[in-house]
Amino acid sequence: MLGFILSGIKPLHMLCVGLLAAFLVFAFLILLDVNCDYIALGRALFGSCILGFSISSMLISRERSLFLNNQLAEINEQILRIEASELLHLSQQDALTQISNRRTFDEMFDFFYYRANQEKRPLAVLFIDIDFFKNYNDFYGHQMGDKVISSIAAAIKNSIRHVDFVARYGGEEFVVLLPETPAQGAYSVAANIYKAIERQAIPHAASLVSKYVTISLGFTVYTGGLKMGQDRLIHAADQALYRAKQLGRNQIYYQPLQVAEIA
């Protein structure tokens, strides 16, 4: 009966085969007129069938339980991995715009800055601000203001390469990193962003420079290998944005790095 158990035959099939075999043994012994204790033999044969059926049912039930437990454990592990991945993604993403947040920018800026220095290649840093956004919020409401921020973020994202990086820096301000991009290339990207937002033609009745939503964009370009800290590079790009706003907003301003800033 153990051979049947180990062979993988289903318990019910095994029981039927065992009972049939026991019946054939009885028939054969009766046919040969063998003198034996048929009651004891019957108990032994039929008992072994029932015992084998019970044991195999228990083994299969146990294996099935182990299999289901292993499957559940794998499913739970997959769910945990997915949830962990989603949580990581959410922690790196700005909830409103679905682009990277300030925390992720800080991490990515470290990477881009390090790579620019290692490869002695340029790194352009662009700061973008929505003109008179407070006026827009006051005039149209915060809900419409959120829609504008999302629209501007989408326009910026669609205007850069997949190797570039964009993040919401805070409020209505965005930052873009363009690796291996000199000043002329950075200006072309800035112009594309400016035109993309201009094409959106979002009405802005409270603006002092246009009847539509506009941006001020300032940028600078760092050449890897120069002795300039990351904070000073960010400050230089931010100053370029400040200069664009100071000159009347709704424009692009390029601020070359000064010797005094690099030293």
CA–CA distance, 65 with 223 (Å, rounded to integer): 63
**What six digits make up the tokens of 123?**
């790194």
> Which amino acid is it at 170?
G
> Which amino acid is it at 63?
E
Active site annotation includes 83: no
**In this structure, are residues 51 and 1 in contact, taking their beta carbons and an 8 Å threshold?**
yes
Return phi, psi of residue 181, to 5°.
-130, 115
CA–CA distance, 218 with 246 (Å, rounded to integer): 11
- Which of the following is catalytic: 107, 172, 180, 261? 172
**What six digits make up the tokens of 263?**
């030293």
CA–CA distance, 254 with 124 (Å, rounded to integer): 10
- Residues labelled catalytic: 172
